[in-house]
Structure 1
Amino acid sequence: MTGLCCLATGLFAQDAARNCSTMEVDARLRAEDPGYATRMEAIESFTQEYVSGSAGGTRSVVTIPVVVHVVYNNATENISDAQILSQIDVLNEDFRRLNADAASTPSWFLDEAADTEIEFCLATVDPSGNPTTGITRTSTTKTSFTTDDKVKQTSQGGKDAWPRDSYLNLWVCDLGGGLLGYAQFPGGAASTDGVVCDYQYFGTIGAATAPFDLGRTATHEVGHWLNLRHIWGDDGTSCAGSDLVADTPNQADENYGCPSGTRVSCSNGPDGDMYQNYMDYTDDACMNIFTNGQKTRMHALFSPGGARASLTSSTACAGGGGGGPTCDVPGGRSTTGITESQASLNWASVTGATSYNVRGREVGTPTWTTGSTTGTSINYTGLTAGTAYEWQVESVCSGGTTSGYSTSTNFTTLGGGGGGGCTDFGESNNSKGTATTISTGVTYSAQISSASDVDWYQFTTTSPNTRIKVSMTSLPADYDMKLYRGNSVRGTSENAGTANETIIWNTTSSGTRYVNVYGWAGAFDAADCYDLIVEVSNTSWRTDGSEMVIDEVWGNAIVGIFPNPAKELATVNYFSVQEDMNVQLAVFDILGNRVMNLSSEVTSGDNLIPINVQSLPSGIYVVDITNGKSHYTEKFIVE
């Protein structure tokens, strides 16, 4: 059964915009097929169980065989193979976060940005076992199609689906009424399973038409096919809906066109709406991100018992085992053991790889130094102290095929330290944009070399549930520091004099963080170095025997909810409160229904507010907390 549809309004005008009738179509499906709702509920229950038990991190890459059914009434609609291939390229780039505009993702959302580890290949074997290009072409007398699924039926002038257990069916045709495309959630009928796109909004060349000419209509619709919802939750601006993903901001409604800056809704500041998400409604040029939570939700489909698990064993692409390219770009890349003259380059093992090619160079220079190994690490030696380097790695698989090189991983060698007159490590790093990459677990020595100098560092964590401890010791002057996630301050340490500075932050997401070191009031510089180390572990800071995860800073108070997921009791922490006050809490289900109201008096200092969730069905909820001056909202899961 068809699940979602996207339309373009004001076509061929400068203000052309997407407009979907998702909930109306979904309501029709539930009315036509009572079993559809039951199947969707079962899939959602399975998904939430998978999400609750998922450890995140690197998974096996899933490659999905694709068949593109071109149903055309005239030569223009009979799009070229090249246009189809351009769309497959976009899908692979977007889902693996290899898209060039990934660089446009705001820094405050980089922690959530995900390589979904899902790839797509045009099928090379048809359902009868015969060779195929993965493209079918059907001439029709129909001048256009709608969301009634006739394009998926040969008897109605369309083309029958290939078995969904082995293929993603993509139909390309003329969709009437300004439709861009629509998709079917897992759980619908096998005969209509897949995605439909208008020929004008498919791929990046040929008939592709602006502002939907970068292939993101298919990216959006395949996201739906993989069980993703619209990012705003289709709640009619109530802020009570949910896309069933924990790491996307709660936002009021869809975004159109190409917004700029920060758009705050549903009290989701300072970061605001994630209008760059592929599941929003912005123009193709403004979409560039899936999140780790969306990745986990999609991968639930491919786990044992998942609704699309059979695709992982499809042999519809050359090589079998899920089809498609069997030589993947290595993930899990990190740089460790950095000294003044060498570093260890590391990556995750790739199934089918017989060796790896590695290349490195000083940033800004044209020449690469290359090497190869059969292992998953290599020593990069002969380096210059205090210098920025970048490196890339590719897999070499059987038959000599290669994955192509990864994107660059950057690091800076140590610049000396310890005692007076030390070299100022990592310069020039006077802004977040020029932050020096450091490794966790390594002590770095540096100095504030002038009264106006500041130091910026960046580091990356790969585990979604980590305790981050930043320590600054051996201070020669009154230095202070801040910890950032994107543009948001996550911790500050401003002890007086030369006392050590420490920030501890527990987080549920992996990604890049920044440390800013500065002299008190910008007044100090010194000839001696301070020592800085970032330590990461999976042992969280605990308060009163329960895990305390600091998620956001609400005014001067630290607000969060733990444990998340919760079974019987969820607790809101409200720490570092400056004054006594009354706090109101409301809990909403994913449909926007208010299911609980609470009121609590809090005092200055640290407070814990319990929420009994025993009576709530398993699922995703939103808690809205207000102190009379501002709101704080957060999604949490009840198991």
Structure 2
Amino acid sequence: MKRNFTLKTIFAVLMLICTVNLNAQDRTCGMVEYMEEMMQDPDFAREYELNQKKFKAEVARRLSTDFNARGGNIVIPVAVHFPSGNEADRACLEALAQNQIDILNADYTATNSDIGLWTPASAFYPGLNPGVANISFCLAVSNHPVGIDPELLEGNPAVSIGYNFGGGNNADTNWAGYMNFVVRDIGPGLLGFSPLGGSIAAGQAVTMNLGAFGSGSGCPGSGIVPGAPFNLGRTVTHELGHFYNLNHPWGPGAPSCAADDGIADTPNTGQETYNCPNPGTQPGCNAGEFVLHMNYMDYVNDACMYMFTPDQMAVVDGYVAGVLAPQFKPNVCTPPAPGFNLVSANNEISSCPTVDNQVVFNFSYNTILSFTETTTFSASGAPAGATVTFSPTSLSADGDFTMTVGNLGATAEGEYTITVTGTSATVTESTDVLLKNTCTEVVCDPFASATNLNLAIVDGNAGNPGTPFLTNILTLPDLGAPIESISVNVDVSHTFVSDLIVRIIHPDGVTFVDVWNGNCGSNANFDVTFDDTAPAITCASPTTGTYAPTNPLSAFAGLATAGDWTILIADFFAADTGQLNDWSITVCTEQPLSVAEFGSDEFLIFPNPNQGEFTIKLNSSSNEDIIVDVYDIRGRRIFNNTYVNNADFNEVVRLNNVQSGMYLVTVSDGDKKTTKKIIVE
């Protein structure tokens, strides 16, 4: 489990891991802590309660009718996500995903190869047989979400690689409709976590650590290798049981004979069971009963858990049929028919009728299963008075095309959703883009601390944070508009950086985001720019670059900028110390377009992202020199040059040996000046 959801939960979870599960070979599950925290979210709690009502209604319906005859098997579409996976490892990761699907199909139908172990064990559990669920799992192969992963092709398995699922959270609405499995580094001492009674409609996921997914040799090229004694894929079987409303056998809280899981045919255990005990050696709470430690919902090693009970499977069937079945995305397990899809490279463009004459949207046309029909492009929804032209006007193979929306000077200000449609003889597909013809632009302003703060981070001990927490404040002005997006840079010198939690707190004192949460193990030092659009973190000593935060910074979108922004850093373990060197915030807001700004058809920077070399093209109407400045995320100028003007300015800028990250490029031409954000990879 991620080791925090709020600081309060961080303390509880880390104390639990450190005081109860000191043996790294013991199974650990973070469902209880995850649910305790998420139930504080009113939206999550509301959906949870609604789903529980649906589940209870389904159980009541089944009790009032004859369910002796089993209905049709419910097929559950699965998508698997490897945020830190290597794209070159795709064939291996897809095979590992299918391997886990095969394990689940066996485990949930009592056809697993080790079910024979139940025969000698059953003598201690009279009258009990393994349970069988009326479900099966498939790895989705068609109708994938578009714009997620360029290598996620129709007809291939729904396996995303390098995609930061949910911005580091456990839900992603892009993947609503799927049973999501996320495989990522969730820190030492924990194998996985899941919501109890999950939601497919909300795009929720079951999350596993890198060594607790699938079986066999795994994919070393991506650092995803099943690790003994949890190397048979049973962590997913266990966590998925929670998603389908199954509790641990000892009940929803700490193990006690005063509570159980509410399942009639699982003995009241009163304890967690670890390792691999022999059947009949672990007494239950009631005289003559034994702990059913081979049950998938207990904590034994993978090789020693091999069954569900019939009543557990009745719960799974009821939850899947009564709650989840209507939420599954249809027709994704059947190989797709030949066809195509359209993907926009720039979903939103800003313009102004008094400045811009035209804007250009870029698209890719991707065929499915060798589709060869000619597809013609058209559009609807453009502003009245505008012209729309496509280049090329049609395609019959994979390729790119553009849509130019022209004559904007004759249009009214406003936001326009333009639907672009591709039509062939047998297939019609469409996608939407947004033209913000509102005379505004997104302006990004950096605000930085002093460069040598050298603020000591108080050392923690055994999962208890050192106090007082390190805090530092940046006071931001009122930028006159709500936050559109935000990025944060944090520079820390510290050994064993996984000791740390880094939190950014909004001036309202209520809204916060944890950008760093025990990442990167024993590595030392990091200087990271956290940006929601960046890839998952790649650890090193030091860790540098632009990466997605643990939790998305989009939580600040729509809020005001003015006031005291606080960084809070807490250290939870002894012996490794360090300091905060500096930090900064870059806030992007939507501002009115000045008459002295360049129009969107006058000024271009490409490619973006780039590797430190890019081209600036500018149609200049002044006779003054062109000045180009580049600033890093902390507001430090790293490049400055003055160029002789000409009407068709076209210059290559080379940022020699800069780190990867976000930079701001400011171009001045007489009384015109504009700033654009670039990403250096």
Report the TM-score, using the length of structure 2 for normalisation: 0.40
State the structure with more CA Rg: 2
Report the TM-score, using the length of structure 1 for normalisation: 0.43
